[in-house]
Amino acid sequence: MTFKGVTKKIFGCQVKSNFKLRRKKMKKVLISLFALAFLFVSAAAFADDIELAKKSTVEKILQNKQLRVGFESGYLPFEMTNKQGEYMGFDIDLGKALAKSMGVEFFPVNTAWDGIIPSLVTDKFDVIIGGMTVTQSRNLQINFSNPYIVVGQAVLLNKKHEGTVKSYKDLNDPKYTIVSRLGTTGEQAAQRMISRAKYKAYESEVEAAMEVVAGNVDALIYDLPFIEKMQAQQGSGKTISLDTPFTYEPLAIGLRKGDPDFLNYLNNFLVQYKGDGNWQRSYDKWFKSTDWFDKVGN
């Protein structure tokens, strides 16, 4: 082979090699550009998600033009269903007043108690206004407003123990059977503070109270407002009320975590609600009067 032929062969190989090298480099550049573009699009979408997540519940309520309030009907006199199928009670008044203050519709969401916190967390409603006591375990899952009322556990006692049982402490004996509603602070107080007594849990506080009225059990441990209501409505000649609360239980509005704007609004609303007399008028209506008793549905 001549020198010219050798040179041609060598340079031909170099040209092909350089072309392949450039093609590989271009391919890497294109891949990098596509990757960069994907990152930009993903970052933008992520930023949109973050912005949506940061949107206060206040803005969502105003946009939807309704306040969704979670509770479980049946906790007298806080939330009840009347004979026409409508909701009424101290908490219902509070929820309606909150909706009115925001200029939106009040939308009640009756929810089973054992699922009420998960339902709030998963946005089935905007707030819990359902006679919920602020406890540390609940506060780990959701946030609470300032308390709107403070109650405590009291005793509805079968009349046969009148004079013998003078406080909850006297019930702390295996010869007594006490009851409360499953999953409530009444149950917690009974098991923690009257632990030596026999204990039975019921799905409904009304059912538990009627067991005391009938004499099948000795005492109900439950929130004072309900104890007073049952004593007035069902207990004449059958039960007595030990109406000095033996626990401190603040009730508050529950909301999802991470929403300081909504928490601020709720706290300011409660100050106004109490300051303008609406809280007191509602309290007098539901706690100091028995006019509503006949309106409660079955």
Structural tokens at position 184: 């409530």
DSSP 209-240: HHHHHTTSSSEEEEEHHHHHHHHHHT-TTTEE
Shared domain check, 196 and 61: no
Boundaries of domain holding 160: 153-247
* Cβ contacts of 191 within 8 Å, gap of 6 or more: 199
**Cβ contact 134:187 at 8 Å:** no
Find the CATH number of the domain harbouring 264.
Answer: 3.40.190.10
Shared domain check, 192 and 121: no
Nearest of 153, 288, 295, 152 to residue 232 by alpha carbon: 288
231 found inside a domain: yes
SS3 category, 277: coil
24 found inside a domain: no
Structural tokens at position 118: 């998960």
State the Rg of the chain over Cα: 32
137 found inside a domain: yes
Shared domain check, 61 and 145: yes
pLDDT of res. 75: 87
Boundary of a domain, candidates 247, 264, 287: 247
DSSP 55-86: S-HHHHHHHHTEEEEEE-TTBTTTBEEBTTS-
Shared domain check, 258 and 131: yes
Shared domain check, 258 and 130: yes
178 found inside a domain: yes
Question: pTM for the full model?
Answer: 0.70
Regions of the chain where pLDDT drops below 50:
3, 6-7, 10-11, 13, 15, 41-52
Provide the total of helices (H) and of strands (E) in the chain, helices listed first: 10, 14
109 found inside a domain: yes
3 found inside a domain: no
Shared domain check, 193 and 269: no
Shared domain check, 257 and 145: yes
Shared domain check, 203 and 226: yes
Shared domain check, 256 and 110: yes
φ, ψ of residue 88 to 5 degrees: the values are -150, 165
Peptide bond preceding 77 in cis form (omega within 30 of 0): yes
pLDDT of res. 178: 98
Boundary of a domain, candidates 247, 270, 287: 247
**Cβ contact 248:150 at 8 Å:** yes
Shared domain check, 233 and 87: no
SS3 category, 179: strand
51 found inside a domain: no
Shared domain check, 237 and 162: yes
pLDDT of res. 47: 42
pLDDT tens across 36-49, in order?
Answer: 555 554 444 444 44
Pairing of strands 219-223, 153-158: antiparallel
CA distances from 183 to 189, 241, 256 (A): 11, 23, 21
47 found inside a domain: no
CA dihedral 26, 32, 38, 39 (to 10 degrees): -160
pLDDT of res. 16: 52
Domain count, the chain: 2
Structural tokens at position 139: 């506060």
**Cβ contact 89:52 at 8 Å:** no
